[in-house]
Amino acid sequence: MKKIVLLCLLCITVGAKAQNNIKLPLKDSTVLYANTIQATSTSDKLFTDAQTWLSDNFKDTKSFISANDKDNLKLTGKGYILYLPGNNDPDTFLTYNIDITIKNGSYSYKVYDIGYEYGNVNRNISEEYSHYLHGEVHKNSLIESKKSARRRLEAEFVFADQSFIGLVNSLKQAIGGTN
């Protein structure tokens, strides 16, 4: 009996710690994935590789490249990643902007203005995450409980984090370089 009680307490403790371990990268209260990577290629090669990566990753009908500035070696895009939460909600998209800037044998990337879009609703992930960190959640409906809303947000944050880590890793793989 003691083993069962101990096991239950351990599961509750691990579950509580897992919920608090959701850490998104923040800068000035904004969720931001950014870094500068040193590379061995020329600036022209880095720019060409970044262009190729951006066009390969922005093939769906919603994503687009908003700036392709060869003179200043800067690329900017607006991306959409389909998120299927597994219920009857309308298609939900994780939205973001990305800037890639090449300078002196290195490149910088910045993924920002991250949000969720479904139907006519747009939610800013930085605001949602700030509320979440302070123990506040905004429920989607009157029938959604606070606990259910918190679980939904946690799933969304994990999905977003995994998506952007994968996106950034694919950029690094395509362009090269080291942190």
- pLDDT higher than 70, residue 151: yes
Q: Is residue 87's pLDDT more than 80?
A: no
pLDDT tens track for 22-36: 899 999 989 999 999
pLDDT of 1-11, one tens digit each?
A: 333 333 333 33
pLDDT tens digits, one per residue of 55-66: 999 888 788 888
Q: Is the pLDDT of residue 106 over 70?
A: yes
Check pLDDT > 50 for residue 39.
yes
pLDDT computed for residue 107 by the predictor: 95
pTM of the full structure: 0.81
pLDDT, residue 16, reads 42
Distance CA 95, CA 25 (A): 16
> How does residue 148 score in pLDDT terms, banded at 50, 70 and 90?
confident
How many Å apart are CA 104 and CA 51, to the nearest integer? 17
**List of domains in the chain:** 25-175 (3.30.530.80)
**pLDDT score, position 88:** 59
pLDDT over 90 percentage in the chain: 47
